[in-house]
Structure 1
Amino acid sequence: MKIAEQVTFGGSGLDRLGQLRGQPDRIEAFWQEVTAAVLPVWRGKPLIAGSERNAIGLVATDHELVSLAAEAPVFLGLDRGAPRFSIDVSAWQPEELDDSTLGLFLDPSEQHFPGLPEDLRFTELRSVMSSLGPRDAELIATAKAVLSWHESHQFCAKCGEKTVPAMAGWQRNCPQCNASHFPRTDPVVIMLITHGNDVLMGRSPGWPEGMFSLLAGFVEPGETIEAAVRREAEEESGIRVGRVDYLASQPWPFPTSLMFGCWGEALNRAIVIDLDEIEEAMWVSREEMMKAFAGDHPVLKPARKGAIAHFILSNWLADRLD
């Protein structure tokens, strides 16, 4: 797709300066710059700013929040020349915390750290991702993915020893066996499967009522993207796929995926779903999908704005998949 990098979380061109991560003096110099700022993340929720909830929330490198980080900051890169870092402040315990919605698919709660401006709050990313600008979205996606990896990979996979962060947060080293570990990215195919004028849609258990999206699944070791599209489509819905074309990709920080958007041509129409994979699947005509996007469909709700599924479907409706 000619407009592929217009997808949320992609295309901002962040200068990550990966070649400097192994130079602690340079990273410390960035930390000391007057323009340096830190993106705090609390339990996977980034700090979001603005009354419209449409901007990244940043604090100074000497802010009280920074002292709550359990590990050294992750260097994200330069944002128009200004150094940007991120920290995990999950150790902070808000007063009178109502945790009944924490971890839900759509967590409506927001948390406010005392002393910060009222419009700076820790917010579930799914609720604001379509409102963010490209640079803020890339910074948040990067921070969430790397910090999530640190949280789940505290110990060496070779010997079990506790590892320590290195390379400005982009590596963990084992002091016992000297093994080095690096942030992981999980490849996922998400596919626009069409048959004539219809597109195949499915839903997973626990999704909001009426919400459907494109089928998706993880790429297995030793498998091409095209093969993964065909396997996942047949496993989940019984639909066999012939030709497969690549469309676009999207970093998906829930927690560390990279979505490969593809277009596949269905060879049959009979749906046989695997209830261990999805709850329901159906063919949806272009006309029905247009009603869903307009909010006029009696049952179907479109994929969430900001997700690559919404991006692909909207461009399919507009005949822009070239």
Structure 2
Amino acid sequence: MEHAETVTFGGSGLNRAAHLRGAIAETLADPAARCIVLWRGKPLLDGAGAGLSRVPLDHPVLGDASDMRLFLGLDEGGPVFAAELTRWDPDVSEAADFGAFLDPSQQHHPAMPAAAHFAELRAVMTTLSARDAELAATARAVIGWHGSHRFCSTCGAESAPDDAGWRRVCPACGTFHFPRTDPVVIMLILSGDNVLLGRSPGWPEGMYSLLAGFVEPGETIEAAVRREVFEEAGIAVGPVRYLASQPWAFPSSLMIGCLGLATSTEITLDPVELEDAVWVSRTDMARVAHGTHPTIKPARAGAIAHFLLENWLADSLD
């Protein structure tokens, strides 16, 4: 797809300046350096233009942050870092639901202006600029990796952040550990003018999406598409081609969007993976996209499923 990188979280052209990670002290001392701030994976927004808040590295809000400053790269304003508030325990509103599909609550730090607030990234991702979206997704994924990979998988000792946050080093055995990205195929499966949609158990009512699944070791992308669709819905798939990708920091996936042509149409569900799967005509998908379908809601704006379906309806997959 010629416009593949217009997908949310893609295409900002951030200069990650990896050559600066090994000797970061000078970059940290740059008066132009700024830091984006996260709390429980939620980015801090400025509130005015709904962009990311970027604070100086000596800002009081960072007094509640962990010691790690993750170097994200260089943009037009200078070096950009990220930090997570781990020493702040705010009173959360009754609306907060951190285990929900999407937490609607907002939090406000006393060191920030009243309009500044922390918000769930999935709730605001379509309002961010391409650069802010890439910065927020990168920070969320890498900081989340540090939180879930504190201990060395070789010897079990606690490891420490290194290389400006882009690896962890075990002091006991010297093993290096690097942030992981999990490849996931997500499939626009077509049969004539119909597309295959499914819904997982526990999803909100009316929510359907494209089928998706993790790529297994030793497996090509094409093979993963065919295996996942057959396992989940019993549909055989023939030709497969790549369309677009999307970094998806929930927690650490790379969504690989593909087009697959079905060679069978009878659905046989795996009830563990899918609660339902249906073939939906192009006409009905247009109604879904406009919010007028009686039972199926539109895919979440900003997600690659929405992007692929939107381009299929517009005949702009090439």
- 2:226 — aligned with what? 230
Aligned positions of 1:1-322 closer than 5 A: 1-23=1-23, 27-51=24-48, 53=50, 55-95=51-91, 98=94, 100-322=96-318
User: Alignment partner of 1:110: what SS?
Assistant: coil
Q: Which amino acid aligns with 1:168?
A: A
Shift of 1:66: 1.5
Aligned length: 318
Shift of 1:52: 5.9
CA contact (8 A) 1:286 1:317 kept: yes
Shift of 1:98: 4.1
CA–CA separation in structure 2 for the residues paired with 1:314 and 1:96: 37
Shift of 1:35: 2.0
CA–CA separation in structure 1 for the residues paired with 2:278 and 2:48: 39
CA contact (8 A) 2:96 2:105 kept: no
CA–CA separation in structure 2 for the residues paired with 1:314 and 1:5: 15
Shift of 1:275: 1.1
Q: Which amino acid aligns with 1:306?
A: G
Q: Which amino acid aligns with 1:31?
A: L
CA–CA separation in structure 2 for the residues paired with 1:81 and 1:221: 41
Shift of 1:81: 4.3
CA–CA separation in structure 2 for the residues paired with 1:173 and 1:76: 19
Q: Which amino acid aligns with 1:196?
A: G
CA–CA separation in structure 1 for the residues paired with 2:123 and 2:52: 13
Shift of 1:40: 1.1
The one-character-per-residue Cα deviations of 1:38-78 (angstroms, maximum 9, x if unpaired) are 1111111111223563x112222111221222231100001
CA contact (8 A) 1:71 1:165 kept: no
The one-character-per-residue Cα deviations of 1:232-266 (angstroms, maximum 9, x if unpaired) are 00011111100001000000000110000000000
CA–CA separation in structure 1 for the residues paired with 2:86 and 2:182: 24
**CA RMSD of superposed structures (Å):** 1.3
User: Alignment partner of 1:56: what SS?
Assistant: coil
Q: If the length of structure 1 is used for normalisation, what is the TM-score?
A: 0.96
Shift of 1:34: 2.3
User: Alignment partner of 1:172: what SS?
Assistant: strand
CA contact (8 A) 2:35 2:56 kept: yes
User: Alignment partner of 1:128: what SS?
Assistant: helix
Q: Which amino acid aligns with 1:180?
A: F
CA–CA separation in structure 1 for the residues paired with 2:112 and 2:26: 26
Q: If the length of structure 2 is used for normalisation, what is the TM-score?
A: 0.97
Q: Which amino acid aligns with 1:248?
A: A
CA–CA separation in structure 2 for the residues paired with 1:118 and 1:283: 48
The one-character-per-residue Cα deviations of 1:149-169 (angstroms, maximum 9, x if unpaired) are 000000000000000110000
Shift of 1:99: 7.4
CA contact (8 A) 2:239 2:260 kept: yes
Q: Which amino acid aligns with 1:121?
A: H
Shift of 1:90: 3.2
CA contact (8 A) 2:60 2:111 kept: no
User: Alignment partner of 1:143: what SS?
Assistant: helix
Shift of 1:108: 0.6
Shift of 1:295: 1.2
User: Alignment partner of 1:168: what SS?
Assistant: helix
CA–CA separation in structure 2 for the residues paired with 1:127 and 1:6: 18
CA–CA separation in structure 2 for the residues paired with 1:99 and 1:290: 33
CA contact (8 A) 2:96 2:103 kept: no
Q: Which amino acid aligns with 1:12?
A: S
